[in-house]
Structure 1
């Protein structure tokens, strides 16, 4: 595998909107990108029109749509247009590529609806995935920060920016004898300042970012893994891989009903319709002994399983174009 970095305008740098929100600047960046891409395609032997071209983001949609190939596919793994940092020209870039795609993989029905595929386009729901063994193989070591905390441990692993802080605070107040552990970074520089009330609760412990290699040791020590995510249009179209990471670790899961993926996992996770129900379900979820079922669910969503599906579909798409 050869990884090549090609420039593109993903976001407008802060404080410089007039410079970068400019058609000429975008054209120059695209031209440089086309030249770099063409060079590497030629150098690596991928210049033939028999090639397969796929995108998992929308930033090079316009360029990729114009490159000759046998099959195009789009891996719709997130609502790229839903991020506030996204720029107006990205919509056109995405639709130019999606309109020409022979095959669309997607993680959720709400996301597929936003793509408005043509009736003749093949659309395959993949969902999200997990490195199964990484989270399933028992880790004997207990993170030092957890050793002194009273149990049960109610844990969340992920970005702090997406959680419903009021919901987490409600859980902490309802169960003051439990430890609520938050593992993960806050990307907004002022997140901690805006959530002083939550972080000042005596049984709430925010440990910050943990490396991917160490993360399973944390998740496996959760007595209950929480998914207290905000309910927003962006999250509604998502398919969180933390669901599958929790399941691979085998720990009980309690989620607020905020997306299709969570609802579909109701056979292995407790799903609350309201914040009040979320708090009430803590006791029931803690007693959930369906570890084998959770891990079987996660194994079916391993990256290997998803890759097999993708390869099968892509081979069929190539064959259809040959016939």
Structure 2
């Protein structure tokens, strides 16, 4: 990813952990005048030889540029770091990991201090930043004019995807994707645990797992269509009643293998709950109907 067609405006980056350092190096390599600040000064000084200007304080760093990028530890760090800084007329782009509620509150906080605000969710590891073909991208939400004004700069380290003017939507997209990822990791972990101690090598199971999970990817789009239409029965291939009945085999196998079912039992329990709530209505459904239980008021 390069930035050959955009005016190289001065910018400031606060926070130089692994991700912040990767971002800084990518912007510097693209020729952006960059001011940096980090609580641990040594990390900032290491970038001076690459062309970064090192600020002695957050207030000094903010004063050096109109575009301020934040890549700090957490949302609380933002308030602490910027408490003494004048944000009037500044454009704040928050790459700090947070929740949707924190993104919305921080947007209101920034507006009250005279700044425009974008929240973001980074879908990449530091090694993917600035690496062509790595697939890195960042969700952005909040001020659309701010996003469009700096889009060329923001796309230097990773592709940029604007997901709405609600400041909480970048974090929500981020967490939704990460939650799905961890669910996938949980299933894979359970599968490998089942074969521990057997004459089955993990490396032999790996391609079978990849192939099977790829084939099951249809569920993503299928569930989206069913949740939109609220039609859970049409065109069902493997209905809820059958899947609940079959789930006993999964649990008995785990018991036989001495494997805890804790990674898969919550989902199996959810399917059973959906079926037992009204067997006549739900037996022929697709499993996507169980998703609706997760938003039930009062559910913990």
Query: TM-score, structure 2 length as denominator?
Result: 0.30
Q: Which structure dedicates a bigger proportion of its chain to helix?
A: 2
Instruction: Using CA pairs under 8 Å that are at least 6 residues apart, name the structure with larger relative contact order, 1 or 2.
Output: 1
TM-score, reference length from structure 1:
0.28
